[in-house]
């Protein structure tokens, strides 16, 4: 509790100091009230950058993101399944820079100095900040599954960061002969997008069902239960009978080793699965820049103040999105964007001397089980000194047996695409 | 059933308020602007949805209050909005409605 108060006091105090400093600096244009650097141009970072400018155009915002366009993980399963193209899920930063006046530094953030309050970039720039928003997403833990390193991912794609890996997995599915086995290795919690692997199973099954009907999916899971499980399994039974075998941890589902040269996955108890296509989703941790800056705990994720998302390890740095430990909130694009809006508003409030508000966050995650069969999970969240919790009695998953199931799943399939259109318009549009 | 979410929300608000109690900086109640930021992720910026989810701009305050209240008590059919509406108190629904009614 006292930690929360201290960090909030520091929050306002240091910003006031920063404002005073910038007022003294000689600048050709109207001086910024404060400088905010944002690391990472995904759902969290891009939202934070845009909403900081919407909240207060007097704040100078710099986004550090090497890519000129961002391919989203949401929607990437539809590319893998052949329903969408990469261009459908790729978004540039033209509106962010041109309309909203965010400065985009197209370099990697390579080091953070929390004392000097600077970020060093791959191009050798040093960017000073009053507040730093870190939304670096995830890195894959190479070697956590024996034999699964970056080289192995060229043969056995993870496709858990959208881009060339997404296209590689799609090409492998297209090249696979009918009758092949497609294996997925699915990690234990926590990881990016809890329902993601199961939507991916669904989209691959949808492709195989018509294009390669003698093929099978072998889903090897390092856990015994998963997000929206009954809804997914009902859908699989209805749409893809006999096509999917899901093997939980308790039935030796955990993959502990891969032999990429032999397209073989090895389970904890030594079963060897030789397959035609292997999608290995390895365990993950916070993006490198956050770990290098000392913001992560031993498990590799970043503890934050649940009221401000300010790092527990360093003042003036907010960690949002997948890299943060956000209590009951899942590692999802929607959650990251929700956190970003609140943090942007909280930073602007502090700069302008307004009191901090009680946080409220939301998450809504749609998944396609089939092209016309959508399901969802949603929650509203509030902050407590012990962490972020979901509001009881609200939220939850789609009903398992709605009165008109076909109509319900159809609507939620439409809303899956509707959410994507709205969210990406709000963030990159 | 409809009482439960309200009680849970109220309890959390008290907890949240306690967190800031020791300092002079007690947390302000969540503003309509902050609450309504949870709407736009699906309904689009300013309530203008480019896709299949209904737009919500151009509604009156009364319409928004009525819709959210009916979603919350399951009197209005919904796929998603009943789950969301149960996460907010009556006062918060009023604050959301006031904010959303400004969207044109």
Contacts of A394 in chain B (CB under 8 A): 5, 8-9, 83-88
Share of chain A above pLDDT 90, in %: 93
Residue for token pair 């992560």: A296
pLDDT in tens, B35-87: 999 999 999 999 999 999 999 999 999 999 999 999 999 999 999 999 999 99
Q: How many CB pairs under 8 A join A and B?
A: 176
Is the pLDDT confidence value at A386 over 50? yes
- Please tell me the CATH superfamily of domain B30-100, with its number: Cytochrome c-like domain (1.10.760.10)
Q: Helix A405-428 and helix A333-351: axis angle, to 10°?
A: 40
Is the pLDDT confidence value at A3 over 80? no
Is the pLDDT confidence value at A150 over 90? yes
Is the pLDDT confidence value at A9 over 90? no
Question: A287: Cβ–Cβ under 8 A, 6 or more apart, which residues?
Answer: A40, A136, A137, A138, A139, A323
| CB–CB contact A418 B79 (8 Å) | no
pLDDT score of A31:
80
CATH number of the structural domain A2-66+106-139+285-356: 3.50.50.60
d(CA A321, CA A326): 8
| CB–CB contact A307 B16 (8 Å) | yes
pLDDT in tens, A50-80: 999 999 999 999 999 999 999 999 999 999 9
pLDDT score of B23:
36
pLDDT score of A373:
98
Please check whether residue A37 is in contact with residue A418, taking contact to mean a CB–CB distance below 8 angstroms. no
SS3 content of chain B, % helix, strand, coil (to 5): 55, 0, 45
Residue for token pair 């480019």: B50
Please check whether residue A336 is in contact with residue A28, taking contact to mean a CB–CB distance below 8 angstroms. no
Alpha helix ranges (H) inside A36-146:
43-55, 76-80, 94-98
Best of B28, B46, B87 to disrupt the A interface (most A CBs within 10 Å) is B87
| Residue A326: closest CA among A288, A382, A366 | A382
pLDDT in tens, B14-35: 444 444 333 335 899 999 999 9
Question: Which band of pLDDT confidence, cut at 50, 70 and 90, is reported for residue A6?
Answer: very low
For A266-286, letters b (16+ CB in 10 Å) and e give bbeeeeebebbbbbbbbbbbb
CATH architecture label of A143-283? 3-Layer(bba) Sandwich (3.50)
Tell whether B77 lies on the interface with A, counting CB pairs under 8 A. no
Best of A4, A47, A422 to disrupt the B interface (most B CBs within 10 Å) is A422
- Enumerate the domain spans of chain A: 2-66+106-139+285-356, 143-283
Who among B40, B84, B86 is closest to A393 (CB)? B86
pLDDT in tens, A162-198: 999 999 999 999 999 999 999 999 999 999 999 999 9
Best of B73, B83, B85 to disrupt the A interface (most A CBs within 10 Å) is B83
Distance between A386 CA and the closest CA of chain B, angstroms: 10
Contacts of A5 in chain B (CB under 8 A): 19-20, 22-23, 25
Pairing of strands A103-105, A126-128: unpaired
Count of other CB atoms within 10 angstroms of residue B57: 16
d(CA A26, CA A28): 7
Is the pLDDT confidence value at A28 over 50? no
pLDDT score of B82:
98
From residue A357, give the alpha-carbon distance in Å to each of A165, B62, B87: 41, 25, 17
DSSP states of B75-101: -S--SSHHHHHTTS-HHHHHHHHHHHT
Contacts of B43 in chain A (CB under 8 A): 422
Please check whether residue A188 is in contact with residue A223, taking contact to mean a CB–CB distance below 8 angstroms. yes
Task: Output the six-digit token pair for A203.
Answer: 């989209």
pLDDT score of B26:
82
Is the pLDDT confidence value at A275 over 50? yes
| Residue A136: closest CA among A186, A79, A67 | A67
Who among A345, A391, A415 is closest to B53 (CB)? A415
If you average pLDDT over every residue of chain A, what do you get? Answer: 94
Contacts of A379 in chain B (CB under 8 A): 87
pLDDT score of A30:
64
Alpha helix ranges (H) inside A163-303:
164-175, 196-211, 229-239, 288-292
Mean pLDDT computed over A278-296: 98
CA-nearest residue to B4 within chain A is: A393
d(CA A1, CA A49): 29
| CB–CB contact A358 B80 (8 Å) | no
Distance between A415 CA and the closest CA of chain B, angstroms: 6
d(CA A401, CA A404): 8
Is the pLDDT confidence value at A227 over 80? yes
Alpha helix ranges (H) inside A25-74:
43-55
**A286 bridge partner residues:** A138
pLDDT in tens, A83-124: 999 999 999 999 999 999 999 999 999 999 999 999 999 999
């Amino acid at each position: 509790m006292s930690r929360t108060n201290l960090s909030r006091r520091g929050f306002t105090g240091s910003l006031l100091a920063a404002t005073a400093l910038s007022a003294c600096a000689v600048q050709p244009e109207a001086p910024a009230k404060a400088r905010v650097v944002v690391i990472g141009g995904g759902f969290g970072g891009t939202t934070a950058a845009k909403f900081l400018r919407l909240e207060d155009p007097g704040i100078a915002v710099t986004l550090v993101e090497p890519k000129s366009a961002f391919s989203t993980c949401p929607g990437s399963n539809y590319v893998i399944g052949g329903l969408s193209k990469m261009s459908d899920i790729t978004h540039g930063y033209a509106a962010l820079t041109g309309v909203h006046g965010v400065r985009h530094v197209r370099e990697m953030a390579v080091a953070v100095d929390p004392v000097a309050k600077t970020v060093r970039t791959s191009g050798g720039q040093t960017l000073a900040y009053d507040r730093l928003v870190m939304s670096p997403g995830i890195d894959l833990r190479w070697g956590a599954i024996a034999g699964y390193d970056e080289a192995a991912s060229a043969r056995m794609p993870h496709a858990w960061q959208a881009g060339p890996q997404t296209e590689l997995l799609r090409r492998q599915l297209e090249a696979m002969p009918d009758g092949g086995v497609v294996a997925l290795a699915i990690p234990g919690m926590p990881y990016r997008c809890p329902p993601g692997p199961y939507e991916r199973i669904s989209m691959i099954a949808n492709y195989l069902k018509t294009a390669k009907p003698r093929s099978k999916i072998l889903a090897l899971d390092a856990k015994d239960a998963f997000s929206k499980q009954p809804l997914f399994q009902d859908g699989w039974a209805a749409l893809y009978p006999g096509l999917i075998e899901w093997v939980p941890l308790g039935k030796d589902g955990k993959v502990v080793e891969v032999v990429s040269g032999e397209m073989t996955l090895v389970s904890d108890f030594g079963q060897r699965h030789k397959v035609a296509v292997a999608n290995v989703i390895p365990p993950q941790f916070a993006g490198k820049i956050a770990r290098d800056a000392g913001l992560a705990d031993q498990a590799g994720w970043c503890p934050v103040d649940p009221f401000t998302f300010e790092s527990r390890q360093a003042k003036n740095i907010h960690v949002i999105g997948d890299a943060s430990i956000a209590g009951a909130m899942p590692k999802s694009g929607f959650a990251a964007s929700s956190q970003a809006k609140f943090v942007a508003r909280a930073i602007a409030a502090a700069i302008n001397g307004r009191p901090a508000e009680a946080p409220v966050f939301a998450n809504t995650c749609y998944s396609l089980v089939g092209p016309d069969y959508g399901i969802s999970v949603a929650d509203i969240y509030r902050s407590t000194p012990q962490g972020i919790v979901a509001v009881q009695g609200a939220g939850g998953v789609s009903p398992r047996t709605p009165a008109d199931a076909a109509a319900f799943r159809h609507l939620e399939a439409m809303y899956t695409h509707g959410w994507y259109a709205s969210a990406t318009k709000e963030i990159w549009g | 059933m409809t009482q439960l979410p309200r009680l849970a929300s109220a309890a959390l608000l008290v907890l949240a308020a306690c967190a800031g109690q020791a300092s002079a900086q007690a947390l302000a109640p969540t503003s309509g602007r902050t609450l309504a930021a949870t709407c736009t992720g699906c309904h689009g910026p300013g309530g203008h949805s480019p896709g299949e989810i209904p737009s919500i701009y151009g509604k009156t305050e009364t319409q928004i209050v009525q819709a959210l209240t009916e979603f919350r008590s399951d009197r209005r059919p919904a796929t998603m909005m009943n789950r969301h509406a149960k996460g907010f108190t009556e006062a918060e629904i009023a604050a959301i409605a006031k904010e959303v009614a400004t969207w044109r």
